[in-house]
Amino acid sequence: MQQKSCWTWRNCCFKVSETISYGVLLATIKDVAKAAGVSTATVSAVVNDTAYVSPDLRARVLSAIRDLRYSPSLVARNLRRGRSQLIALAVADLANPFYARMVSSAEAAVAAWGYSLVLFNSDEKPETERRILARIRTLGCDGAVIVPVGAADQYRHHEFDDVPTVLLGRSLGGDQADTVTVDNFSAGRQVTNYLLDLGHTHIGSITGPMQLSTGHGRLEGMIEAMAARGLAPQPSHVRSGEFREDAAYSVARDILGQPNRPTALYVANGVMAIGAMRAVSDIGLSCPQDVSIASTDTISGVGGLKPRLTRTEHPVADMTNAALRMLVERIEKKVSVPPRHITFQPALVVGESCAPVAR
C-alpha cells in the first residue's frame, strides 16, 4: 500500500492508492439458467426449494450459482411477491439513549424474524415524521414500528391502513393501530408518591409536550397522587420542557428561580433530567440537598449523572420485543385482527437524587 498523495481535511489525513471499480455486474437468474443449461423456472425452484428437481439438474444449478456468485435480487423477488422483507422503525430522538436502546433491541428482534431494519429519526418533528411515513409507504416496508411525535388529530383517520403498524411508547388514544405503551399514569404516580413519602409537599414538574400520551399521562399521575393526599402542584411550578435538554434547562432555571421554589421536581424524561440537574448546579443549588429530582423513562446511568437519578424505568427491551411480535403476527397471518393494546408497568428505581425534605 504505497502512499501516492496526501491531503488534509480538518484534522485528518488522506491517502490514495490503486483503483477500485464496481463494474462487475451481479449475475442474474438468467445467467445461472444459461450456465446450467436449464430454465429460469428450474433455477428458481432450486433456490427456493419449491419443487422437486432431479439431483443431476440440481447439482448443475448449484454449481452455476457458486461459480457466478449468484444471489437473487431481493428487489425483483419482492416486486413479484409484493413484500420487501423490510421493517421500519421510526424513533422520536435517536440521540436519546432511551431510543438507542430501543433501536438495539429492535435490530435484534427484526433480524431474528428474518427481516431487515430500516431506521428513521423523526427528531420529535411532526413534519419529519410525515415525510418518514410517506417514505415507509413507498419503500414498501412490510411493517412499521413508530414512536409517534404528533398529536392524535394530526393523523388522518386511516393513516396506518396501508402498512401494518405498531405504535410504540406513545399512544394516539384512538384505535387506528396496535399499540405498546408504558403506563405513564402509574409512572407519574409512583414517582410522586415516593417524593411525597419523603415529605415533599411543594413538588414541581417539567413535563413533556401535552399532546403526547407520555406528556399528559405522567403529569396526570402526579396530580392524582398529590390529590390523594389533599395536595396540588402550584401552576407556576408545572411547565413543559418539550422532552429536550436545553428546554428543560431553561424551564428548570425559571421554576427554581421563583421565590417559593418547589423542594422537589418530577422531570418527565431522562434527557430533561440532565438539563434540570445542570440548571440546579448552575443556579448554585445542589441535588438532592436543596432540590430533589426524580424522573421517568431514564435508562440506567444516562449522562454520567453524579447523583444517580431516582426514576421509573421502562422495560424497553420487553416493550420492543412485544411490538415486533405483534407486528410480525399481523404481517404474516394476514387475517384482520382487531387492534391490540399492550401496556407495560414501569418500575421505580431509587437512586441518590432525592432526599427527605429539609427542616
- The residue among 153 and 161 lying less far from a second copy, judged by its C-beta, is 161
10 lies in the binding site for a second copy (CB under 8 A): yes
Q: With respect to a second copy, which residue has the nearer C-beta, 143 or 262?
A: 143
Partner from DNA, a second copy, none contacting 116, C-beta within 5 to 8 A by type = a second copy
Name 44's Cβ contacts closer than 8 Å, sequence gap at least 6.
Answer: 29, 50
Query: Which residues, listed in sequence order, are joined to residue 312 by a DSSP beta bridge?
Result: 296, 348
What is the footprint of a second copy within residues 158-177 (CB under 8 A)? 158, 160-164, 173-177
Which option in DNA, a second copy, none does residue 342 bind, with CB closer than 5 to 8 A by kind?
a second copy
Q: Which of residues 268-307 bind a second copy (CB under 8 A)?
A: 300-306
Q: Name which position in 29, 64, 121, 218 contacts a second copy (CB under 8 A).
A: 121
Which amino acid is located at 15 in the chain?
K
Given the complex with a second copy, which of 84 and 207 has the nearer CB atom?
84
Element (H, E) at 166: strand 165-169
Minimum CB distance to DNA smaller for 29 or for 267: 29
Give the separation between CA 303 and CA 215, rounded to whole angstroms.
22
Angle, CA of 96, 102 and 106, to the nearest 5°: 145
Residue 103 to residue 330: CA distance in whole angstroms: 21
Inter-residue contact 147 to 119 (CB < 8 Å): no
> Of these, 41, 59, 285, 337, which contacts a second copy (CB under 8 A)?
337
**Which of DNA, a second copy, none does 40 bind, CB closer than 5 to 8 A by kind?**
DNA
301 sits in which H/E element? none
Query: Smallest distance, Å, CB 22 to DNA?
Result: 14
With CB under 7 A as the rule, give the number of residues binding DNA: 34
Q: Classify the phi-psi angles of 297: left when phi > 0, otherwise alpha if psi is within -120 to 50, otherwise beta.
A: left
Q: Name the one range near a second copy by CB under 8 A: 33-41, 50-58, 288-296, 337-345.
A: 337-345
The cell numbers describing 92, all together, are 422520536
> What is residue 95's three-state secondary structure?
coil
Grid cell 429530582 is found at: 293
Q: Which of 46, 149, 166 is nearest to 113 (CA)?
A: 166
Mask 27-66, x = binds a second copy (CB under 8 A)?
----------------------------------------
Residues in 29-88 at the binding interface with DNA, rule: CB under 7 A: 29-30, 37-45, 47-48, 50-54, 56-57, 70, 72-73, 75-77, 79-82
Q: Which grid cell is 105? A: 433491541
Residues that bind DNA (CB under 7 A): 25-30, 37-45, 47-48, 50-54, 56-57, 70, 72-73, 75-77, 79-82
